Structure 1
Amino acid sequence: MSVNDGAAGAPTDSPTDWVAAHTKEYLDSDGEKGHIWYKDAPTLLLTVTGRKTGQRRRTPLIYGRDGDDYLVVASKGGSDTPPEWYLNLRAHPDVEVQVGNEHFQARARDAAPEEKPRLWATMAAIWPDYDEYQKKTDRQIPVIVLERR
C-alpha cells in the first residue's frame, strides 16, 4: 500500500505557527533553508497517513543517521502521550521523507530493544534535550528507524 492510497491532495501541515513557518521555508527552498534548524539540528520532513482520516500529514523532525537509515524520536517534549504523527505511522508505516532536496519513500519501525540504547545515544548527541524529555515521563520514548524503500 502506498502512502497516497486513500489520501488525495497535498499533505496537511501543522496549525502551530512556528512549525508551519519552518515547513513552508523547507518546502519553498526545497530543503536549502530549514534543513538545518535551531542549534544546528538537522531536520527532515516526514509525511504520514492519518490513521482515522486517511489524510496525509507532514511535520518537520530532527533526524540522525544509522548507516543508510534515518532516525527520528517520538518525544513530544516528554509528554505522557506520544505525538499524533507517531500514532499515525504505527497504523501506516509506509511514509514519505524529504531530507534537504531529496525525496523518498520509507518504511518506519520502532527501534528494536537491543538497538535502541545505541540509537538513542545517537539522537541525544544531536539533541541533548531528548534525555531531559525522557526524565519527564514514564512513557518509553521511541526511536523510529526510517528504512528507505
Structure 2
Amino acid sequence: MTSATDLHGAPHVARYLETDGEDGFYWRNGTTILILFTTGRKSGEERSHALIFREHGNAYLVVASKGGTDAPPAWFVNLQADPSVEVQIKGERFRATARVATSAEKPEMWAKMTEVWPDYDEYQKKTDREIPVVVLERA
C-alpha cells in the first residue's frame, strides 16, 4: 500500500476521504492537508483538491501556486467564479467562503505558509503571476 505522503491529486483525495484524513491529513515535511471542494465554473460539478493548509485565527489558509506555473490552478479559477466552497479537515466537512488575502494581509500569511512549505518562494520566482494566498472562512 502506498503511503499517503507519496500520493498527489485524486488518489490523495480518495484516500483522505475514505479514512476521514487518518491517512492523508499529515503529508510531506510535517505539512497538513485539507480537502477543498469547489464547483466547476463550466461543468457545475463538484471538484475536490488536497491542499497544504495552515490555521489562521478562525480561518484556514491555502496557496494557489500550481508549482509556479503562469496559469492559476483550476480550483482557484472555480472559487473566483463561486467563492462558496466546502472544506474537509480530517472527518469534519463544513461550508466556507473563499477570498484572496488583501495586500495588507498577504505578507504575514505568505510567511506562515512558506514556513511549512518553503518551495512557495521558489514557485513565486518562476512566474510573473502573483501567487495568491486564499483565506477560507467558515460560513
Could you state the TM-score of these two structures normalised by the residue count of structure 2?
0.93
Residues of 2 paired with 1:54 and 1:32: CA distance? Answer: 29
What secondary structure does 1:145 align onto?
strand
| 2:16 is the counterpart of 1:26 | yes
CA-to-aligned-CA distance 1:56-106 (integer Å, 9 cap, x gap): 100100001110100000000000110000000000000000011111100
Residue 59 of structure 2 corresponds to: 69
- Matched AA of 1:53: S
- Structure 1: segments with no counterpart, 5+ residues: 1-16
Structure 2 partner of 1:120? 110
SS at match of 2:137: strand
Task: Quote how far apart the aligned CAs of 1:18 are.
Answer: 3.5
Q: Distance in 2 between matches of 1:78 and 1:30?
A: 30
Answer whether contact 2:38 2:86 (CA < 8 A) is retained.
yes
**Partner residue of 1:111 out of 101, 104, 115:** 101
The 3-state SS of whatever aligns with 2:13 is helix
Q: Distance in 2 between matches of 1:94 and 1:137?
A: 28
| CA–CA separation in structure 2 for the residues paired with 1:65 and 1:52 | 30
Name the count of aligned residue pairs.
133
RMSD, aligned α-carbons: 1.0
Q: What's the TM-score once normalised by structure 1's chain length?
A: 0.87
Identity fraction in percent: 55
Structure 2: stretches of 5+ with no match in the other structure: 1-6
Alignment partners' CA distance in 2, 1:37 and 1:108: 23
